[in-house]
Amino acid sequence: MLAPAVKLAVDKLTMRYPNGHTALRDFNVSVQTGEMIVVLGSNGSGKSTLMKCVVGLNRPTAGSVEIAGRDLAALSGKALRQARLPLALISQNANLVRRRSVLANVCCGALGRHRTLATAMGRLPRDEIEPARACLDEVGLLHLAGQRAGTLSGGQAQRVAVARALAQRPDVLLADEPVASLDPEAADEVMRLLRRLATEEGLAVVCVLHQPELAARYADRLVGLRRGQLEFDRPASEVSSQQIARLYVDETC
Ligand SMILES: Nc1ncnc2c1ncn2[C@@H]1O[C@H](COP(=O)(O)OP(=O)(O)OP(=O)(O)O)[C@@H](O)[C@H]1O
Ligand SMILES: [Mg+2]
């Protein structure tokens, strides 16, 4: 049997912000097809910095990010944009365009592939409408396709954000606190969805959470970040509650 493909590999990643603060130091992680990892760590430990380095919103000070075996640092311009296409990011707020329909919001996910004047003016690319409907179906919200995004509940909006990410046809799905503003039932639903996308669709999923019990329930591996450094990277079933608790202890107190 073929070994599962590594979709995302982060090697010795260091991020020092211009003010001199080092938010990430020598950080390594890799994620394979069909795998879901959850990154845990206290406020300010560097989780969002990691996500931003991976999607290219931060330029790392040192180290490398490889997507499907391609080192992003070695690329620029169009080649870099192409190499990043398999990456999709979901954040804490769904960030939907409230006055547009749910379907139009999902179609936006495909716009990276359609850089034409018509799409820039807001027209939906015709051949993306059916795939976008399929993405909405995937998250169980096809019946809301025509509804204005501004009328959705928080949980529905976050599932639409997942559908919009899927319209990008990603191999790697990054989710930075995707359930932070959701009630327990809606949070569970979004986590189930991310888990299914990994298991059934083969996506490599990296999710940042502040809920260790939710992480343990859904992740293959738990990655602990503490002050910008890797504390542990282990199968979820092997991480003890003491190891998790240590992530949240402030030793400076
Ligand atoms: N642009 C920036 N310039 C300087 N320092 C920054 C910048 N962005 C983040 N930091 C600092 O880097 C550290 C890590 O921030 P980051 O946002 O990655 O934390 P986090 O783990 O995502 O926290 P949270 O759980 O609160 O979202 C923090 O100390 C933060 O103040
Ligand atoms: Mg953060």
Residue ranges of domains in the chain: 1-86+171-253, 94-169
Among all ligands shown, which has an atom nearest to the Cα of 25? Answer: 1
Q: What is the pLDDT of residue 113?
A: 63
The third-level CATH classification (topology) of the domain covering 1-86+171-253 is Rossmann fold (3.40.50)
Nearest CA to ligand 1 atom 30: 44
Q: What residues contact 124, with CB distance under 8 A and at least 6 apart?
A: 103, 104, 107, 132
Question: Can you give the pLDDT at residue 80?
Answer: 87
Q: Residue 68: its pLDDT value, please? A: 87
Q: What is the residue whose two structure tokens read 């396709």? A: 145
User: If you take atom 29 of ligand 1, which residue's CA is the nearest one?
Assistant: 44
Report the nearest atom of ligand 1 relative to the CA of 51. 18
Please give the model's pTM, rounded to 2 decimal places: 0.92
Burial class (CB in 10 A: 0-12, 13-18, 19+), 64: middle
Q: What pLDDT score does 120 carry? A: 55
Where the chain has pLDDT below 50, the residues are 1, 117
For ligand 1, say whether the CB of 46 is within 6 Å of any of its atoms: yes
Distance, CA 43 to ligand 2 centroid (Å)? 7
